[in-house]
A and B are shown apart, each in its own frame.
Chain A
Amino acid sequence: MDRNQIHTQLLALLTGVAPDIDPDSVDPVRNLRDQFDFDSMDALHFAVAVSETFGIEIAETDAAALANLQSAEHFVEQRLLSKEHT
């Protein structure tokens, strides 16, 4: 899966968690909490969706990696790569 596919998937997951945000308006480097008033439950729902969709386990300490779309892309890409190598 390339970075573009990851980006598209993550956007879909984001709007699944928060149906009231416009996918075209997402600023990839801005914190989701500031950008969309994500609360802790929204952030957890997003983590669950990412974990299930990509088949990767996400520790509580990885939460910071999902703070914005770009870092989430990077995180998922790295996890998928390390999965391939194991």
Chain B
Amino acid sequence: MDVEFLLPSLGADMEGATLTHWLKQPGDRVRRGEPLATVETTKGLIDIESYDDGQVLQLLVQPGTQVPVGHPLARLDVEAGSHTAAAPAPPVAPPVTGPQTLAASERVTPTPTEARATHTRMSPAARRRAHELGLPLSALEQAGGGGIIHVAEVEKLAAHAPAGSSDARVAMRATIGATMARSKREIPHYYLAHDVDFSPAREWVTRYNAAHTVKERLLEGVLIVKAVALAATRIEGFSGTFHEGRFHPAGAVHLGTAIALRGGGLVAPALLDAHQKDVPTLMREFSALVERVRAGHLRSGEFTAATLTLTSLGADGVDVLYPIINPPQVAIVGAGAIREHPWVEDRQLTVRAVLTLTLAADHRVTDGRSGARFLRTVADLLADPQSL
């Protein structure tokens, strides 16, 4: 079956992206979930994955071209029964047609040399600097030679290139601003906070880490990831998306984890099926996710899949944060800094490692009562780390 591979929406307000590289050629076999192309968005370089098993027939867009969401990128011959018809992403903002839209006559079939361009990886800071300096991607590809391009290479190149004006940092700020404004405008948020005695979890992690090598070591945050994901399978109404006027519960918990980018901005790629994975597996996947974020190279599935988000300001953060829901999701959990804090137990005053969890949730889907049960479930799970 001959189908078109379209540019998916990778965020609620993504309008388009620039195709930077093809990872497959006409004639190549492709499997469902395998990256077909790399695109550059305001969130960085993202590998977009095939929805089907099949074979690449024709590439319709040349590297360097900006295309709107929903635009055909390639033609695939898809195996019968494999075609899933639609992108896994929930419907979001409709494709916007603008001056960047390609007319059909402008579509090209890349020559083999164009299509086999080296797969350039750039750090977010390097990409930002390149944008600030107006360096063309082709120049950077040559400089990269297949390796990761850092700020230093960009600066060196800039000495020989004319200055430009585009600013990726402003673009990302605008994207975050638009998404959050939409969230505040459309979603009736309610907020809850709950203090959790994190001491049992902390002791469990300390014991685990003492018995394992540095490579197998766990971060405390991974226990929070697992507890939040498990709680979302037990209390309904927190893992899913809201569109077409109603809540669509997700069968699984793909937990978006907010990761701050140095120099500003953030991304929240998903840990897929977080509820089903054990803590060491989640740790490995989270570690790999952060590495890909730092290298500026995420996969499209990680962007579109999240059904619930967890955000933390880390060890140096503040005690409490009040997060904003990332639409079309319906809830977000905030984790403050884990701190030594007075704690009363059996009428005795003690000092414990205390974590303040917050929940921002969508009143169109749940009420404070279910939100309270959800947060208490997370607390109960953390009190018994063996259960994770």
Contacts and interface: CB of A to CB of B under 8 A. Distances in A.
Interface of A: 15, 17-24, 33, 36-37, 39-42, 44-45, 47-48, 51-52, 57-60
Contacts of A59: 210
A60 B263 contact: no
Contacts of B290: 39, 41-42, 45
Contacts of B286: 41
Interface in B347-374: none
A18 B210 CA distance: 26
A20 B152 contact: no
Contacts of B152: 22-24
Contacts of B18: none
B262 A37 contact: yes
Contacts of A15: 150
Interface in B295-326: 295-296, 314-316
B287 A44 contact: yes
A19 to B, nearest CB: 4
Contacts of A21: 125, 151, 262
Given A18-B294, A33-B316, A51-B214, 11 more contacts: A19-B296, A20-B123, A20-B125, A20-B294, A21-B151, A22-B152, A23-B152, A51-B213, A52-B215, A60-B206, A60-B217
Chain A binding surface SS class: helix
B217 A22 contact: no
Contacts of A24: 152
B327 interface: no
Q: Give the size category of B's interface with A.
A: 20 to 34
B31 to A, nearest CB: 29
Interface of B is mostly: helix
Interface in B216-252: 217, 219-221
A40 B338 CA distance: 13
B150 A40 contact: no
B260 interface: yes
Nearest to B216: A48
A39 B287 contact: no
Contact of A20 (B150, B155, B209): B150
Nearest to A58: B214
Contacts of A52: 215
Contact of A36 (B124, B150, B209, B262): B262
A17 B294 contact: yes
Interface of B: 123-126, 148, 150-152, 155, 206, 209-210, 213-215, 217, 219-221, 260-263, 286-287, 290-291, 294-296, 314-316
Contact of B209 (A23, A39, A60): A60
Contacts of B215: 48, 51-52
Contact of A39 (B214, B260, B291): B260
Contact of A40 (B148, B294, B314): B314
20 contacts: A15-B150, A20-B126, A20-B263, A20-B294, A20-B296, A22-B125, A22-B150, A22-B155, A37-B262, A40-B220, A40-B221, A40-B314, A41-B287, A44-B214, A44-B219, A45-B287, A45-B290, A48-B214, A60-B206, A60-B210
A47 B123 contact: no
Contacts of B213: 51, 57
Contacts of B150: 15, 19-20, 22
Contacts of A19: 123, 126, 148, 150, 294-296
Given A18-B262, A24-B152, A45-B287, A39 B314 contact: yes
A20 B287 contact: no
A24 B151 CA distance: 10
B206 A20 contact: no
B336 to A, nearest CB: 14
Contacts of B221: 40
A74 B287 CA distance: 27
A7 B33 CA distance: 41
Nearest to A52: B215
Q: Which 7 A-B pairs have the closest CB atoms?
A: A20-B125, A19-B123, A20-B123, A41-B290, A51-B214, A22-B151, A58-B214
